[in-house]
Each structure stands twice: as structure tokens, then as C-alpha cells.
Structure 1
Amino acid sequence: MNKPSFPPPAPLCVPCRLAAIGAVVVAMAGGFAYVAGWLTPQRLTTHRIISAFEADNGTHPGFRRNHAKGVCVAGYFDSNGNAAALSNAGVFAAGRTPVIGRFAIPGGNPSAPDTSVPIRSLALMFTQHDGEQWRTGMNSVPVFPVRTPEQFYQQLVAAKPESATGKPDPAVLKAFYAANPETQPFQAWVKGHPPSSSFANGAYYSVNAFRFVDADGESHAVRWAMVPETLFAPITDAQKAEKNFLDADLEQRLQSGPLRWHLIVTVAAPGDPTNDATQMWPAARQQIDAGTLTIDHETSQDDGSCRDVNFDPTVLPAGIRTSDDPLLAARSAAYSLSYNRRTREEALNPNLHHPQQNGDRS
């Protein structure tokens, strides 16, 4: 049998191959340059957003660029199975899921007084039995002040402190709010709700909409909230004079026993906006108590369980998806860049430590 014959290979063109490789490298470099904003300096990038945080709060190596002051906590979530019809995520099947979390206040200064902002935050990482994770970052206000990443950046620029006073220019902030009426629901809510006296007695909201996917593949637009069993109480006059009362209060409460919240899932009706975090859904929407979050201990702020966790709200297990809210992708990118910066700072300075700052380098 004759062996099949093949045409001789084309002569090797070394310059051509080098040129092709060079073109790929140039294209990749151009892509990175575009993403970084070097080729379009006026385009909004994640680097510009994080740099705006640093301009407002100063640079604090090893700390988050936002929510820099916080404390690690841990516990578990007991699902009652009520949300399993909406989502096939393992966390909603009846049973227990371990949780790592973090309480914090907004802002990039880990030494800021607890009274510097009226908002508290709670970030959680649920680790399912199959290894998949659900990460969520929630605030004590159910709406966000702005609708788009561009507005958020403009707000950061407007809030930049003046060198003479160390505070934002009231006229600049007023002009920003006047130009962005979407901020009115947020402002109204904050004015009508005094800050909580404790991390333990506040409710925490997803703010953004997400989608739960059931076993049949049907999608349901949802938001959620962690509602405390501890009775709400507003901040006291004595606490207003203290710098670090939130962490001290939490530690004292946990010494007396675990703290609990109920995960309340709100299901949207057709027409409810899923791409606008400045708008609340009507109070009459269906609400489901999906189970109980128990926090039973806190850990060191410098080496605690949440230290190396990036609470990216787009890290989701099967059964939960992002919505069309434009803030979600921006949050994910900003969290990633913040994580990269602080871990790089720690890698370059292994002895980085701030014992005088009541902040969490996680």
C-alpha cells in the first residue's frame, strides 16, 4: 500500500511570525492601556474611582479604600427552606451554612470616629457544602444615593475635603445634589432614620436587585435584608462623644450570647425597577423569611477570619445571578482593585501594622 502523500510545508517566515506575535502583544498592551484609561483619560475607570476614594480619605496602606474601619465576625445561617422555591442555591435548602462576616462603617479612613457617618454595613460570605460561595455587602440604608457609576464618581469628587477646612465645600455638594435629584430618596431616608446605637440592632439591605433562579430555570427579581431580632435603638448622646463605641458594644453583647437576624427576601412584581438602586419597591411586595443568621463571635481586626476576604457582591453560587443594575459591575471592579492594592502593600511591607487605628485590614 502506498503511503499517502502530503504537500510540503510552507517555508517558515520568521519575520512574519515575529510580526504576528508583536501585533498580539501590541493589541494586548493597547487593551490594558484602554482599561486603565491611559488612552482615554476622561473615561471613567475603576482606577479613577479608587483614586477618588484616596483623595477624599487619604491613603492608608493595608486597608480597604472604603469601609476601612470594621471588625470580623463569624457564625452560621440556618435556612428554613422557605426560599428554596425561588432559588436552587444550596444555601436556601433546609440546613446550616457557615458564615464569615464583617461589620464596618463607610469611608476610607480606619481612624474615623464611629459618628463620622450615619450608616453601618454588614458583609457576609456563605460557604455552601458544595464549596460554592455567596458573598454580599449590605448597608443600613435600603436605597443608594446614585444610580450609575458615573454619578457615584461625581459624588466622590464633590465630597473631596478642602485643604483649608478639611471638609467638603457645602456649595459644591449642594450643586451635585441639585443636579442629581435621584439622590432625594436616600437623603430623605437618612434624615428620617437616626443611626443605630449598635451593629447588633440595625437592619442591613442588599440595596441592589439580584435574580434568584429556581429548579425549573425561572428567574425571580429580588432584594433582601437582614432584620435583627435585637430591638432597634438610636445612637445615644453618650455614644456621640465616643470614637469607637460600635466595636466595644458588639464585643460586650456577644459576651452575653449570640446575635441573630432574619434573612427577609423581597420579590419584585412586574415593572419594578431592577436597574435603579435609588428606588425602593412598594412595601406590599411579597416577603419571605428565608432563615436565621447567627453571629456568635468576633475576631481580631488585623488577623481575623475576614481579613483576606474580598466581599465582591457578584461572587454568587448557582441559583443566584446579578441583575441589570449597573452599579454591580462597578462594585465588583472597585472591590477587586482595592483588594489588589492593599494586599500588594502588605506584601511589600510584611510588618505593616496600625495598632493605633481601630480598623480592619481585610
Structure 2
Amino acid sequence: MQRFQTRSVRRLFLLALGLFAWSAAASAQTAVNATQVVDQLENTFGVHAGERRNHIKGVCAAGEFVGTKQAATYSRSALFSGKPVPVVARFSIAGGDPNAPDTTPNARGMALEFRLPDDKLQHITMISTPMFGAAQPKTFFDNLVATKPDPSTGKPDPKKVKAFLDSHPDARAQSEFLTTHHPPVSFANSAYFGVHTFKYIDKNNKTTLVRWRFVPQDGEKRLTDAQLRSMPRDFLAQELIERIKKGPVRWDMVVTIGQPGDTETDPTVLWPEDRKEFKAGTLALSSAMPQKGGACEKINYDPLVMADGIAATSDPILTFRSPAYAVSFSRRLQGK
């Protein structure tokens, strides 16, 4: 475990330095760069030294993943060898406020680090909404500006939020989903979506466009109106820790195969429901612990950390996330 963490920190720190320069060069195309987005996260939520700038509130877990033979026909990744792959997981709540109540209507996150043979890593980072809230980095940045709490109320100004949604149609689908779906009762009772399109590459170099989601075997369950009013501020982390003590918690990885015409570069748009799907494996988490000092605390869950057999598309949000994570991670390493 320590070997993986040491190598991961060293590798990701070097990646942070390189991607910092890349993000500045890419700013002309994206209208904002990674540093500006991380700065705005700090402006909206405040600076919490040594902590993540987004998805700050979370809990660690660990277990294993076993891929299926069917997945191996599409991807040569060692993730689908059929052998158990160790996993370090992190569950979180979107946003940079460490004191946000666990009933907040923000998306939940599941981040996974798969520890493959020969010290290879595969990251998968997901959220609890089927779509993302921005097709371009500028939309994400503008959302942070619009939702900055008003000092007089401690809450975002509804007029600014409405003006943002009126002027950014790519943010509406996720906003509507969060408005019409209560948060889950547990991290264990939520589905998590990759939202981006990826490429599976088989042993013959054939590429298949895919999206994936992790579906809880315990079923999806959401807070009732009464629970939204009565639940304590902090319940999700401890609930998961106690739940896993009773036995492993499992999710099935369900992969959707894209067809010609399905968007590859817009995570705000869903694919048609009639696309072919298959079970690619099962994640079983057998332990959970507070993130402070936990195995997940120092991991930078960069979604572009991928092993052979899985590759990224040119989705501008996906490619932007890596340098943004790197800027945040480098500040954490420096204790800022």
C-alpha cells in the first residue's frame, strides 16, 4: 500500500507540473484555464489548507473488482482479466464546503483507483447524476461564480442562479435532475455514472465507444421529504462505515455501447436508452474508514490515469479535468 502511495504521489506531482503548463496553453480554446477554475473554487467555497478544492467532504473504502469475460472481448485491459483487482475508493459530495450538510442536493461522487499488476493504475471517477452540468469548462466556471454564497444570507443568490441557467442551456439537464431527485439515503444506495465517453480497445486494436455506470446491488434509495428535514448534518460517512462492517457492499459495472451519431464529446447529453448494454464486472467493498488518514486521502483521482485497453475521447470536460485536478493536487501537496 505504501509503495503504491509513494509512487502515485511522485508521479502525480510531476504530472501536475506538466499539466499546469498545458492548461495555460489551452486557455485560448477553453476560455478559462485550470488555475482560474481552481481559484474560483477557492473564491466560492473558501480555502481549506491541505484539502481538496471540490468534493472536499468524503469517506474512504477498499475492496476488489472482478471483471467479466464479456468485457474482455471489448477491452484488453487487465481490469477485465477475471481475477480480483484491489480497489481504493472514495465517496464524496460535490462542492468545496467541508461543513455542507449530507442532505445537500449536490451530486455524490464515487472515485475508484484500481491497482493492476506491474504497478499499473486505472482510475474511474463518477457522479450520481446521469449527465454532467457543463459541456465546456467555461460553463463550470460560470456556475461557480453564480452559486457563490451571498455574504448576507450565506446562500447563493436565486436571481444569479436563474440568470446562469437561462444563459447556459448545457447546465439545465443536471440542474433539473438534482431538483427532481432527492439525494440517496446512503452512498451504498446510489448509482454512479461515468458521464463521459471512453474507448475500449481489444487485443486486435479494435475500438468501441462506451459509457458506464455502477449500479448498487442493494438498490437505489432516496431520502424522503421527512428525512431531508430530520437527518443530522453528518451521517453518510459513518453510515457507510457501519454498513460495510455487516458485509461487503456491491455494485455491478454496466457498460453501454455507442452507435454512430452518439455524442462522444458532450457529457451533458444522454445516449438513447435502446443501446446495447452488458455487465462488465462487480465491485465489492469490504471496508470503509474516515478519509483523514485513510487510504484514499492522498490519492488524486485523475480520470485520465488509465492503463492499456481503455482510452479517453476528446471530450473537452474530460480533458480539462486532468489539469484542474493537478492544480488542486499540487496545492494540497504544498499544504495550501
Offset at residue 207 of structure 1 (A): 0.7
Matched, 1:253 2:243: yes
Higher Rg of the two aligned structures: 1
- Count residues in correspondence: 314
Residue equivalent to 2:9 = none
Q: 1:304 to 1:33 in 2, by over 3 A?
A: closer
Please tell me whether the aligned partners of residues 197 and 239 of structure 1 are also in contact (alpha carbons under 8 angstroms).
Answer: no
- What displacement does 1:90 show? 0.6
Instruction: Give the CA deviation at 1:256.
Output: 1.0
1:63 is aligned to 2:63: no
Partner of 1:224: 212
What is the aligned counterpart of 2:93 among 101, 105, 117? 105
Residue 201 of structure 1 and its aligned partner are, at CA, apart by 0.8
**Alignment partner of 1:95: what SS?**
coil
Rounded Cα–Cα distance in structure 2 between residues aligned with 1:113 and 1:208: 28
Amino acid corresponding to residue 84 of structure 1 in structure 2 = A
Look up the match of 2:183. 195
2:201 matches 1:213: yes
Contact residue 149 and residue 156 of structure 2 kept, 8 A: yes
Question: Which residue of 314, 330, 333 corresponds with 1:324?
Answer: 314
Change (3 A) 1:270 1:304: same
Write out aligned runs for 1:151-166 (5 A): 151-166=139-154
**TM superposition shift of 1:191:** 3.0
Contact 1:197 1:234 in 2 (8 A): yes
* Matched position secondary structure for 1:273: coil
Tell me whether 1:121 sits opposite 2:109 in the alignment: yes
The structure richer in helix per residue is 2
- More displaced, 337-346 or 239-248? 239-248
Q: How far, CA to CA, are the matches of 1:313 and 1:181 in structure 2?
A: 25
Q: CA deviation at 1:217?
A: 0.8
Aligned to 1:298: 288
Aligned mate of 2:222, from 206, 213, 234: 234
SS at match of 2:335: helix
- Separation in 2, partners of 1:277, 1:103: 21
| 2:171 partner letter | T
Q: Equivalents in 2 of 1:183, 1:69: separation in Å?
A: 23
Partner of 1:173: 161
- Residues 79 and 36 from structure 1, CA distance in 2 versus in 1: closer, same or farther, beyond 3 angstroms? closer
C-alpha contact 2:189 2:216 (8 A) present in aligned 1: yes
1:271 to 241, 261, 269: 261
Contact residue 241 and residue 289 of structure 2 kept, 8 A: no
CA distance in 2, matches of 1:294, 1:222: 22
The answer to whether the 8 A contact 2:23-2:323 is kept is: no
**CA contact 1:80–1:95 (8 Å) conserved in 2:** no
What one-letter code is carried by the residue in structure 1 that aligns with 2:34? T
Deviation at 1:36, TM superposition (A): 5.2
* Partner SS state of residue 60, structure 2: strand
2:170 pairs with one of 174, 182, 207:
182
Identity fraction in percent: 38
State the AA in 1 paired with 2:45. N
In the alignment, residue 113 of structure 2 is paired with which amino acid?
M
After superposition, the Cα gap between the structure-2 partners of 1:226 and 1:88, relative to the gap in structure 1 and judged at 3 Å, is same
Deviations 1:54-111 (A, max 9, x none): 1111111111000000011000001122201111101112211110010110111112
Aligned partner of 1:80 in structure 2 is: 68
What displacement does 1:238 show? 3.7
State the TM-score, normalizing by the size of structure 2: 0.89
Q: Is this contact kept in 2: 1:126–1:134, CA < 8 A?
A: yes
For the pair 1:288 / 2:273, whether they are aligned, the reply is: no
For residues 228-262 of structure 1, the C-alpha deviation after alignment (integer angstroms, 9 at most, x for no partner) is 00122211434643111111211221121110000
Structure 1 gaps of 5+ residues are 1-31, 347-362
Distance 1:298 1:239 in 2: 24
TM-score by length of 1: 0.82
Q: Give the Cα separation in 1 of the matches to 2:112 and 2:325.
A: 14
1:166-205 deviations in whole A, cap 9, x for unaligned? 2222111111111112223223322332211000011000
Give the conservation status (yes or no) of the 8 Å contact 2:75–2:202: yes
User: Residues of 2 paired with 1:307 and 1:44: CA distance?
Assistant: 28
Q: Report the AA paired with residue 306 of structure 1.
A: C
**1:316-343 superposed Cα distances (whole Å, 9 cap, x missing partner):** 0011110110001211011111111111
Which one of 44, 51, 65 corresponds to residue 32 of structure 2? 44
Q: Structure 1 pair 276/43, CA: closer, same or farther in 2 (3 Å)? A: closer
Counterpart contact for 2:88–2:112, Cα < 8 Å: yes
In the other structure, the counterpart of 1:12 is none
